[in-house]
A and B are shown apart, each in its own frame.
Chain A
């Protein structure tokens, strides 16, 4: 059970060699032991999990199961799940039980998967190390003194540590891809609009997109098949024909043009990361791919642009947390304004407050044009760079993160250093393109290195094909952190 992929476990459950209840109990036991050490989960509800597992078993017994029926999945605590505590990693929502399901949850429930628990995350998805969570940092199963990345750090750590065969995450500036890279697993951020944002607690609405974590590209395709789909409740949800994201997995890569952005390889990458990426490039050449140099000249500005646009949207999105209708209200206060100020000062952590202040400032009178409009113009230039690059290649390849997992506490005192660790992922969100990370080696400290693939709009199936063919030829994705088999 430990090393089953989603595909394998689903097949076992469908064949009734393993029951959904057995699978759930197996992973719950691991979560309650190893999961505690890693602090990967914020909440469990064994009763709900087992009820869902029994229902899945009953469905299968009646011959009515679907392809993923009964498979346990861990969900990032950013998705509202009816009856579940949904905290978004914040004290503000520490007691918030969601009264409705996010579209993503509805999709998984309809597929008959079983929610195994809600995973830890950076508060309101703001962070790259999972250190901003009100519920404490998540530890990287490869080295528990290091971070798992963020903001979906709990989901990534859970999959890497075999606490669940798969998990969901969200990615606003790299929050799926970077933790996938730092924990040696696969994670995919779809094209903006492919997965509905309804019920996913908003950070930066024009950038947020949900996606899956798993250990193989093939699993990502199966999970994306469940998560994707039009939802009329999200005005930015795309009305498209349903597609099978696994349909191109087996295509050979002969003649595929892989774009290598000059700017990705210029500087800043740790030497061990650069080495692993070079080896991956060599592997792709062996698979018959052609390497094309492309340029993303404005990519270097993606971090500043992001740190204007995302905080601006966040400052507005987080205004609803005012202590009136739900969430934290300060125990003592004077008048109305004091109630707001104290509730928000006490309910939000330092990083969230920092970003609210940045966002408030860049939108405020007299600064809007210089910051917000300027950033939106640069956003277009960045998107145009990608459009030009995709005229010359089928998929773009590079590192996911400039380094491997860093020590807990190493960057938490220096926001700018932390922000710069998202240098390779952020531009993809700004352009709204799909991107993914897959493991491609280890550094000298035996920490995993992530390889990033970036597809053109709606190029998820192509990207998964490129990743799957690599995984057929390599075994990085089968490596397992030491000492996690028994717990």
Chain B
């Protein structure tokens, strides 16, 4: 049987983190009471007019710079005409023929493989309101608070070949928009929404008919929805059917996609340039100004972390998974006071990628809400680097810090967790252990390497884990050889 190929392109709506709406002075704050943030412009009273928010354009420029795209010196706002109760004007102001951002790309990791996803464009547009489907005597309720919220719609080329790749791209984009401070990334509140265009074809054949899947408001749903849709299309074709181009909605409760009735006749949007808005002009000077305020981007940071601090590629990627992670890393590193940056960086990285990551995972918190601050972690790093704590002790101190028992030094004091690095003291204990474990000594000499580990374990046990493991190793080796 012929192998199937999957072709996926994503369209992402990132809600831009402006204070006010894209064409009005209404607040964009989430969760306000219904229609309390819907101004005359947002509810499209007769006679009102749009005025573009500079902050929205600036965020689009930031995005364009971050993905190496062309920022159009002149772009056009167009009206997309269709009737829907959450669309008060009967048209959405969007960009059509000349979008603000053109081209660019995003490099993602699919497992351990690097892949580049090309972007087609990114354009500014306004969000619609919300239809609430609770039953009001068989009617729907319309809340227009969200109407006019600025969105950047980011469109890829059909460059992804699996649900895994699509999710990896979506995650990378999600991290990037937060990294450059243009979107809060809150998927529960709908700040970052993806639609997937999915088609399948037999290897070597032309592109198949695509379906657009909406409502992918978590990475998990995206994964499941695409997998379902791929299966559906393949089964359909193998059973002799044809894929119909349509918009489908993912239903997470049933784990399936279904056709959206409401979109069936909305295909003729009658786009035309909005006569209320003149062409948007972005000067090289403005782009330069925005560039000057851009944070160091993830890829540049990774390169610096590996080059400057000798971190592994793996660690560098983990630490640049989000702006919050890299900020945490750099803050802890700066506060540690350890003279050797390479040692300090390795220590911070280890604690973050093991202890911190695990604790965050267990408590389902994100790094911004971690009870151990970068400064607190720095205190722990210092005590590891200066030999006060061994690895095992460091873990214990971290756990205590997480539980709110105070800073590293206070916990070390309270628990008496000083590593024994006095060689005389360690030698005494080593001697005791050797004489009490004659059997292990014999076994070691007979070639059983495992016996050595048992002896190390006995020394550590005798010191309640406080002995400096490196010194214990050295001494044991010396004594056993002698």
A is bound by B = yes
By the criterion CB–CB under 8 Å, are A200 and B47 in contact? yes
A440 to chain B, nearest CB (A): 34
Taking A232-B51, A316-B270, A324-B142 as contacts, is the C-beta distance between A100 and B275 under 8 angstroms?
A: no
Kindly list chain B residues whose C-beta atoms are within 8 Å of the C-beta of A316: 79, 81, 90-91, 270, 272
Residue on B nearest A376 in the bound complex, by CB: B273
What string of 1s and 0s marks CB contacts (under 8 Å) between B164-192 and chain A? 00000000000000000000000000000
Within 8 A of B (CB), among A284-333: 312-313, 315-316, 318-322, 324-326
Q: What CA separation (Å) do A80 and B49 show in the bound complex?
A: 13
Assess whether B270 is in contact with A360, with CB atoms less than 8 Å apart: yes
Interface flag for A227 (CB, 8 Å)? no
Bound CA span A461–B28, Å: 44
CB pair B45–A319 under 8 Å, yes or no, is: no
Tell me if B50 and A319 are in contact (CB < 8 A): no
- Which of A204, A235, A313, A318 gathers the greatest number of chain B CB atoms within 10 Å? A235
A100-143 CB mask vs B (1 if < 8 Å, else 0) is: 10100000000000000000000000000000000000000000
Residues of chain B contacted by A315 (CB below 8 angstroms): 81, 270
Contact call A235/B51, Cβ cutoff below 8 A: yes
Instruction: Give the distance in Å from the alpha carbon of A202 to the alpha carbon of B275 in the complex.
Output: 11
Contact pattern, B 235-271, Cβ under 8 Å of A = 1, otherwise 0: 0000000000000000000000000000000011011
Within B23-81, the residues touching A (CB, 8 Å) are: 40, 43-52, 79, 81
Pairwise interchain contact A100-B45, C-beta atoms closer than 8 A: yes
Given known contacts A235-B276, A360-B270, is B46 in contact with A198 (CB within 8 Å)? no
Is B89 positioned at the interface, with any CB of A under 8 Å from its CB? yes
Cβ-defined partner of B272 (8 Å) among A312, A319, A320:
A312
Shortest Cβ distance from residue B167 to the other chain A in the assembled complex, whole angstroms: 34
Is the CB–CB distance between B44 and A320 below 8 Å? yes
Q: Tell me if A363 and B276 are in contact (CB < 8 A).
A: no
Complexed CA–CA distance, A319 and B50 (Å): 16
Checking A96, A204, A364 against B275 with a beta-carbon cut-off of 8 angstroms, the contacting residue is A204
* Interchain CA distance A318-B83 in the complex, whole Å: 11
Most buried by A among B79, B89, B90, B267: B90
A197 contacts B by Cβ under 8 Å:
yes
> Which B residues are in CB contact (< 8 Å) with A419?
none
Is B85 an interface residue when CB atoms closer than 8 A count as contact? yes
Tell me if B9 counts as interface (CB < 8 A to partner A). Answer: no
B residues within 8 A CB of A458?
none
Smallest Cβ-Cβ distance to A313: which chain B residue: B275
Q: Across the interface, do B270 and A364 meet the contact criterion of CB distance under 8 Å?
A: yes
Question: Which A230-252 residues have a C-beta within 8 angstroms of B?
Answer: 232-236
How far apart are B281's CB and chain A's nearest CB, in angstroms? 13
Q: CB of B288 within 8 A of chain A? A: no
Contacts of A234 in B (CB 8 A): 49, 51
Q: How large is the interface on B (under 10, 10 to 19, 20 to 34, 35 or more residues)?
A: 20 to 34
B278 near A: Cβ within 8 Å? Answer: yes
B277 interface residue (CB < 8 Å to A) = yes
B46 and A86 contact, CB distance less than 8 A: yes
Contacting residues, chain A, for B275 (C-beta < 8 A): 204-206, 236, 313
What are the residues of chain B within 8 A of A313 when measuring CB–CB? 275
Q: Are A198 and B85 in contact (CB under 8 A)?
A: no
Chain A hits for B268, CB < 8 A: 364-365
Query: A319 contacts B83, CB within 8 Å?
Result: yes
Beta-carbon contact of B270 and A363 below 8 Å: yes
Does A320 lie within 8 Å of B276, measured CB to CB?
Answer: no
- Set of chain B residues within 8 Å of A236, measured between Cβ atoms: 275-276, 278
Asked whether A235 and B50 contact (CB < 8 A) given A319-B83, A363-B81, the answer is yes
Interface flags for A175-197 (1: CB within 8 Å of B; 0: not) read: 00000000000000000000001
CB proximity to A under 8 Å, residues B84-141:
85, 88-91
0/1 string, B455-473, CB within 8 A of A gives 1: 0000000000000000000
A336 located at the interface, meaning its Cβ lies under 8 Å from any Cβ of chain B in the complex: yes
Most buried by B among A79, A88, A202: A202
Q: A102-B47, A236-B276 are in contact. Are A319 and B85 (CB under 8 A)?
A: no
Whether A201 contacts B272 in the complex (CB less than 8 A), given A100-B40, A316-B90, A320-B89, comes out as no
User: Are A198 and B48 in touch, CB under 8 angstroms?
Assistant: yes
CB of A201 within 8 A of CB of B47, answer yes
Interface string of A345-378 (1 = CB under 8 A from B): 0000000000000001001110010001000000
Query: Chain A nearest CB: distance from B87 CB in Å?
Result: 9
Instruction: State the CA gap A307–B303 with chains docked (Å).
Output: 61
Q: How far is the CA of A320 from the CA of B81 in the complex (A)?
A: 11
In the docked arrangement, what's the CA distance between A197 and B49, Å? Answer: 8
CB-CB under 8 A from A337, the residues of chain B are 83
In the bound complex, residues from chain A placing their C-beta under 8 Å from that of B91 are 316, 319
Q: Are A320 and B88 in contact (CB under 8 A)?
A: yes
Instruction: Tell me, in angstroms, the Cα distance from A99 to B45 when the chains sit together.
Output: 9
Q: In angstroms, how far is the closest chain B Cβ from the Cβ of A371?
A: 11
A199 interface contact, C-beta 8 A: yes
Choice from B90, B142, B267, B276 contacting A319 with Cβ under 8 Å: B90
Contact of A93 with B by CB under 8 A: yes
Q: Once bound together, how far apart are the Cα atoms of A320 and B270, in whole Å?
A: 15
| Min CB gap B142→A, angstroms | 7
For B51, give the chain A residue with the smallest CB separation: A235
Q: Which residues of the other chain, B, contact A233 by a CB distance below 8 angstroms?
A: 48-49, 51
| A340 CB within 8 Å of chain B | yes
Inside 8 A of A368's CB, which chain B residues have their CB? 270-272
A326–B43 Cα distance when bound, in Å, is 10
- 19 pairs, CB–CB < 8 Å, chain A vs chain B: A201-B46, A202-B46, A204-B275, A206-B275, A233-B51, A235-B276, A235-B278, A236-B276, A236-B278, A315-B270, A316-B270, A319-B83, A320-B44, A324-B88, A325-B44, A365-B267, A365-B268, A368-B272, A372-B272
Chain B residues close to A by CB (< 8 Å)? 40, 43-52, 79, 81, 83, 85, 88-91, 142, 267-268, 270-272, 275-278
Q: Taking A99-B40, A313-B275, A322-B90 as given, write out 15 further A-B residue pairs in contact, using a Cβ cutoff of 8 Å, ordered by the A residue number.
A: A96-B46, A100-B45, A199-B48, A236-B276, A312-B272, A315-B270, A316-B79, A316-B90, A318-B90, A320-B88, A320-B90, A324-B88, A363-B270, A364-B268, A368-B271
Kindly list the 3 A-B residue pairs having the minimum CB-CB distance in the complex, ordered from nearest. A319-B90, A206-B275, A363-B270
